[in-house]
Amino acid sequence: MSLQATLSNHVQQAVNAIFKAELPSVEFQATRKEFAGDITIVVFPMLRVIKGNPVQIGEAIGQHLLENVKEVVGFNVVKGFLNVEINDGFYINFFNTVKNDDTFGFVDVKEGDKAVMVEYSSPNTNKPLHLGHVRNNLLGYSVAEIIKASGRKVYKTQIINDRGIHICKSMLAWKRFGNNETPESTGLKGDKLVGSYYVKFDQEYKKEIEALVAEGKTNEEAKKLAPILIEAQNMLQKWEAGDEETVALWEMMNQWVYDGFDVTYKNLGVDFDCLYHESKTYLLGKEFVDQGLKTGVFIKKEDGSVWCDLTNDGLDEKIVLRSDGTAVYMTQDIGTAIQRIKDFPDVGGMVYTVGNEQDYHFKVLFLILKKLGFDWAKNLYHLSYGMVDLPSGKMKSREGTVVDADDLLVEMSKTAGEISEDLGKLDGYTKTEKKELYKTIGLGALKYFILKVDPKKRILFDPKESIDFQGNTGPFIQYAYARIQSILRKASLDSETMSSETMVTLTLHEKEKALLKQIQLFPETIQNAAEQHSPALIANYTYDLVKFYNSFFQNVQILGTGNEVEKVFRVQLSKLVSNIIKNAFGLLGINVPERM
């Protein structure tokens, strides 16, 4: 049990015994350096249930703790802050209970608890994955791992957006200008080949718009009347009608894209438990639109289009079927959610990892599902995240100015190699070992840079800034882990031989105590990160842990101490820290190198 949890119970008991009052919760904060104490209890919030002077209240609670809690050895009160001193035995006992626990902080899944499904990636099959998709994948994968570590069963999934006008644009451009080229004939990854035709469509579309404007049409008229767009719209209708030639072309080009995506996912280090395809789930969505029409959830307008009127709920009207009967994104999202619960009845909630430009879409989706009568709809969460910008500006897919995910991963590895070579950190490595390490450092730098930021915030991503061996970066933490492994290799002792009873005789250095306090916070950090869907809490906790360890490393001798008990304790403490770093980084999808 953490120090906060231990003291919280005793403080509540003290308030009840002294003031005959029930304290719903206890607020703690770190003790300021100028005051004696290991943890501070904030008295001011207690004034809601206790009348009196905060200093006197603090003194009374402090005295009660000193007399009744063996771990408390002293206290002082500064204004409304009760600073409590804890004996070394508390920290050593805690250490002895967790030092050999390889999964410290992780909670086993409880039988009978509802599972969570986390959706991420969910790309369109008309272009390769780009930097925006990278943030999406890293966030979704990490949140899934964190929720799993918090004690919930998790399914990782994606919805592949494999139908719609954007898909037909790529198909039509390939049909017109492709000369039957394939990934094999061009040597291109399939997703890149298909993406090049999405760009080609946009180029030809703009030419036709210019020609129509020159003939006297307005820009808006020209956009609607461009022949290539009309042909793409006709192709979509043919696809929905099951036209054999159209469906065959769609299947061939989509498979090219899937094969390309699989390579990127493997290189990025993310995976999925199940996949859904919009081309199938939209049909179920249409079925429920029909049901909703009968129950009054939806209304049909004169042109045949179907809508959901959400104005009484503070939103707008939302279309769910076009007048020609074709489905929109909302239709397939309704169908996908329902299908997932059918496939996985143990799922009680879902997390959708989608950029913040879709905030309104998910408000509408969740509300429609509630109106359709699904109880689980109250447990749907939109993991909304900000865009990723580069120093060069905003990315645009249709103009071909995106940062390709594959190219980015190669560039990160290359940059990691250049910086590592300049620092002279890899003497004695073979070429193969260096290549693998550059990949680990580069990918770790990318993931950490993105995940250390609160998901809701926009990111300006600078690859070189992310690969820095100093400061709040992935490589800085990876290096700390590798350094600890070096210490463990040099330690000429059996770290399991020292008994827990012998450890109790230790007097802790202030840096050891500070490090143990940070270690204690790991389980709570995992729970908070799961609840808030925020890998940033794990990332920044790990950075703080490394800072505490480095301070410990610089101020005490580990292998050089003449005291064998101290030596064993400090080696074991180092081992525990490295284990937490590895596990925390595992929750972020980041590998740690044994040497660096």
C-alpha pair distances (Å), 89 with each of 15, 70, 369, 505, 507: 26, 10, 54, 8, 9
**For residue 425, what pLDDT is reported?**
63
347 strand-pairing partners: 115
Hey, what are 407's tokens? 């190219």
What band does 353 get if pLDDT is binned at 50, 70 and 90?
very high
pLDDT value, residue 3: 82
For the stretch 265-323, pLDDT in tens is 999 999 999 999 988 998 999 999 999 999 999 999 999 999 999 999 999 999 999 99
What phi and psi values does residue 460 have, to the nearest 5 degrees? -105, 110
pLDDT tens by residue, 149-183: 999 999 999 999 998 899 999 999 999 999 999 99
By the 8 A CB rule, do 83 and 40 touch? Answer: yes
DSSP class of residue 376 equals: G
Residue 445 φ/ψ, nearest 5 degrees: -65, -45
pLDDT value for 392: 63
Q: Strand, coil or helix: what is 85?
A: strand
Is residue 327 scored above 70 in pLDDT?
A: yes
Dist CA 562 CA 565 (whole Å): 9
Mean pLDDT, residues 327-341 taken together: 94
Confidence of residue 398 (pLDDT cuts 50, 70, 90): very low
Superfamily the domain 3-86 falls into = Arginyl tRNA synthetase N-terminal domain (3.30.1360.70)
Give the model's pLDDT for residue 313.
96
The yes-or-no verdict on residue 494 having pLDDT over 60 is: no
The arithmetic mean of pLDDT across residues 456-460, rounded, is 92
| CA–CA gap between residue 100 and residue 119 (Å, rounded) | 34
Other CB atoms closer than 10 Å to residue 115's CB: what's the count? Answer: 18
Q: Which CATH number fits domain 120-389: 3.40.640.10, 3.40.50.800, 1.10.1660.10, 3.40.50.620?
A: 3.40.50.620
Whole-angstrom distance, CA of residue 25 vs CA of residue 5 = 11
Backbone angles phi, psi at 421, to 5 degrees: -65, -40
Is it the case that residue 595 has pLDDT exceeding 90? no
Judged by average pLDDT, the poorest of 163-167, 342-346, 348-352 is 163-167
Provide CATH code, domain 405-587: 1.10.730.10
- pLDDT by residue (tens digit) across 111-145? 889 999 999 998 989 989 988 899 999 999 999 99
For residues 254 and 402, the model is more confident at 254
pTM, whole model, 2 decimals? 0.90
- Looking up tokens 């908070």 gives 528
By mean pLDDT, which of 346-350, 356-360, 430-434 is the weakest? 430-434
- Which helix (H) or strand (E) covers residue 321, if one does? strand 317-321
Give how far the C-alpha of residue 263 lies from the chain's centroid of Cα atoms, to the nearest Å. 21
- Is the Cα dihedral 313, 319, 321, 323 positive or negative? positive
Q: Which of 410-414, 426-430, 514-518 has the highest mean pLDDT?
A: 514-518
Give the closest residue to 395 by CA, choosing from 206, 594, 249, 195: 195
Write down the pLDDT at residue 6: 84
- Least Cα distance to 115 among 147, 142, 90, 138 occurs for 147
pLDDT in tens, 208-256: 999 999 999 999 999 999 999 999 999 999 998 999 999 999 999 999 9
Contact (CB, 8 A) for 297 and 317 = no
CA nearest 86: which of 97, 73, 76?
Answer: 73
Q: How far apart are CA 144 and CA 122, in angstroms?
A: 15
For residue 493, is pLDDT > 60? no
User: Are residues 365 and 337 in contact, defined by beta-carbon separation less than 8 angstroms?
Assistant: yes
Strand partners, 156: 118
Q: Which of 53-57, 454-458, 490-494 is predicted with the least confidence, judged by mean pLDDT?
A: 490-494
Reply yes or no on whether the pLDDT at 91 is more than 60: yes
Q: Which token pair is 394? A: 């905003």
Place of tokens 């272009």: 127
Average pLDDT over residues 36-62: 95
Rg of the chain taking only CA atoms, in angstroms: 29
- 206, HSE (Cβ side, Cα atoms, 13 Å): 8
Give the count of beta carbons closer than 10 Å to the beta carbon of residue 4: 16
pLDDT band per the 50, 70, 90 thresholds, residue 33: confident
pLDDT digits (tens, 9 = 90+) for 527-560: 999 999 999 999 999 999 999 999 999 999 999 9
95-111 pLDDT per residue, tens: 999 999 999 999 999 88
Rounded-to-integer distance, Cα 3 and Cα 24, Å: 18
DSSP letter string, 167-210: HHHHHHHHHHH-TT--HHHHT--HHHHHHHHHHHHHHHHHHHHH
Q: How far is Cα 362 from Cα 253, in angstroms, rounded to an integer?
A: 29
Edge to edge, what strands does the sheet with 347-355 contain? 274-277, 154-160, 115-119, 347-355, 380-385
Q: What is the band of 401 on the pLDDT scale with cuts at 50, 70, 90?
A: low
Q: Where are the domains of the chain?
A: 3-86, 120-389, 405-587
Is 397's pLDDT higher than 50? no
Neighbour-count burial of 436, counting CB atoms closer than 10 A to its CB (0-12 exposed, 13-18 middle, 19+ buried): middle
